[in-house]
């Protein structure tokens, strides 16, 4: 009997070793096109991917797009062209640890560092004295709130906001319900290194699918593109470090929610109400109660956590109505 288990072990160990070091998937044609249209700048020794598209003639308006977890700037691909028809410049980046940007490890990822990164990109692109519009989603919402905090207090190198549009971010810890795997990764220092290596496409597809509406699920190609962006530069291996942003939201709630409540920057929230991470009506009720200067668009009842992908037309209509209101 013991010899049988030895043979099984000898067979399984190399198979598991091969599996855990499986190479990342190749870029699809659409993802390759997105990559080819981008550029790279260096931030504290790391390469950071960004896109900067020139758009509408006769406009000087700039919009910066901040993506969510665990995806990338490619989340904005369905609304990119319409935005370029309205704005002079449309800019998006992959945060450090995401998408096509470097994913250093070990590394202490933080919302503060990502805000520094956005400010550095703005300086790199000559936008230090330019009023910018910001659209953010999920993780990007919290980065935007740190930037807003600095802007309202005239911190050195701050971004100057013209407007801020948030979408489906867990900005209130008391109304945020992270997925089970996220909780395990952020809180299990012992298990996390194992779990990050065991994350595979099927687990990823199931997890992402749960935060899309039943009628707005990504196609197989779109699921695969999201997975490819995560696996690029071994991004699965830094998930536990990045997920510390959830704990940071608790620790710095007063700073970030306070900035939202006190700012005079025009604010809007675009919200997919089927979101299991920030559920309706709990999330939007707290938002409207605390952020009374903000306008709100609640999209159709079948739209969930990724409104810019699930309902790009509804998202754009809501955003343009907001941007034309001031």
- Dihedral sign computed on CA atoms, order 94, 99, 100, 105: positive
User: Residue 239, SS3?
Assistant: helix
CA distances from 300 to 136, 217, 268, 310, 313 (A): 19, 15, 17, 10, 12
Pick the closest to residue 266 from 319, 189, 326 (CA basis): 326
DSSP annotation of 68 reads: -
Write down the pLDDT at residue 57: 78
Write down the pLDDT at residue 58: 77
Write down the pLDDT at residue 21: 60
Write down the pLDDT at residue 116: 98
DSSP annotation of 191 reads: T
Asked whether the beta carbons of 305 and 211 are under 8 A apart, the reply is yes
Asked whether the beta carbons of 213 and 310 are under 8 A apart, the reply is yes
Structure tokens at 89: 């410049």
| Per-residue burial over 302-322, b = 16 or more CB atoms within 10 Å of its CB, e = otherwise | ebbbbbbbbbbebbbebbeeb
- Could you tell me the domains of the chain? 4-324 (3.40.50.1820)
| Per-residue burial over 231-240, b = 16 or more CB atoms within 10 Å of its CB, e = otherwise | bbbebbbbbb
pLDDT values of the chain reduced to their tens digit, one per residue, 326 residues: 455 554 444 445 444 544 556 788 999 999 999 999 999 999 999 999 999 999 877 788 999 999 999 999 999 999 999 999 999 999 999 999 999 999 999 999 999 999 999 999 999 999 988 999 999 999 999 999 999 999 999 888 889 999 999 999 999 999 999 988 888 888 867 778 888 988 999 999 999 999 999 999 999 999 999 999 999 999 999 999 999 999 999 999 999 999 999 999 999 999 999 999 999 999 999 999 999 999 999 999 999 999 999 999 999 999 999 999 99
Alpha helices in the chain (DSSP H): 2-20, 29-36, 80-84, 111-124, 139-152, 180-187, 192-198, 201-209, 220-231, 239-242, 244-251, 253-262, 282-290, 307-310, 312-323
CA distances from 33 to 77, 122, 129 (A): 11, 24, 31
CA separation for the pair 248, 78 (Å, rounded) = 30
CA distances from 112 to 148, 156, 193, 252, 305 (A): 12, 14, 24, 11, 24
Write down the pLDDT at residue 155: 84
* Cβ atoms within 10 Å of 60's Cβ, excluding its own: 10
Write down the pLDDT at residue 194: 86
Write down the pLDDT at residue 10: 43
Backbone dihedral angles phi then psi of residue 314, each to the nearest 5 degrees: -60, -40
User: Residue 131, SS3?
Assistant: strand
Find all residues with CB under 8 Å of 34, minimum gap 6, and list them: 51, 73, 74, 77
């Amino acid at each position: 009997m013991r010899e049988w288990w030895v043979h099984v072990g000898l067979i399984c160990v190399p198979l598991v070793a091969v599996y855990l070091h499986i190479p990342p998937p190749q870029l699809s044609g659409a993802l390759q096109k997105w990559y080819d249209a981008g550029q790279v700048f260096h931030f504290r020794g790391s390469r950071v991917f960004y896109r900067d598209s020139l758009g509408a003639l006769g406009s000087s308006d700039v919009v910066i797009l901040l993506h969510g977890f665990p995806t990338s700037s490619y989340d904005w691909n369905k609304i990119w062209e319409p935005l370029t028809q309205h704005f002079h410049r449309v800019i998006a980046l992959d945060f450090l640890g995401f998408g096509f940007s470097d994913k250093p490890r070990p590394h202490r990822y933080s919302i503060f560092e990502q805000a520094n990164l956005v400010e550095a990109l703005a300086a790199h692109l000559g936008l230090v004295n330019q009023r910018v519009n910001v659209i953010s989603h999920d993780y990007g919402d919290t980065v935007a709130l740190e930037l807003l905090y600095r802007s309202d207090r005239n911190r050195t190198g701050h971004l100057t906001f013209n407007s801020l549009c948030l979408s489906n971010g867990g900005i209130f810890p008391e109304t945020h319900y992270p997925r089970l795997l996220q909780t395990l990764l952020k809180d299990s220092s012992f298990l996390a290194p194992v779990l990050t290596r065991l994350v595979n496409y099927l687990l990823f597809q199931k997890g992402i699918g749960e935060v899309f509406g039943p009628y707005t699920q990504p196609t197989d190609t779109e699921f695969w593109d999201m997975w490819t962006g995560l696996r690029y530069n071994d991004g699965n291996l830094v998930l536990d470090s990045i997920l510390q942003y959830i704990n940071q939201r608790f620790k710095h709630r007063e700073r970030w929610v306070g900035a939202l409540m006190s700012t005079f920057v025009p604010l809007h929230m675009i919200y997919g109400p089927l979101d299991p991470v920030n559920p309706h009506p709990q999330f939007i009720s707290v938002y409207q109660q605390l952020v009374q200067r903000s306008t709100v668009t609640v999209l159709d009842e079948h739209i969930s956590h990724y409104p810019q992908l699930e309902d790009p037309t509804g998202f754009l209509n809501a955003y343009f109505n907001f941007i034309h209101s001031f």
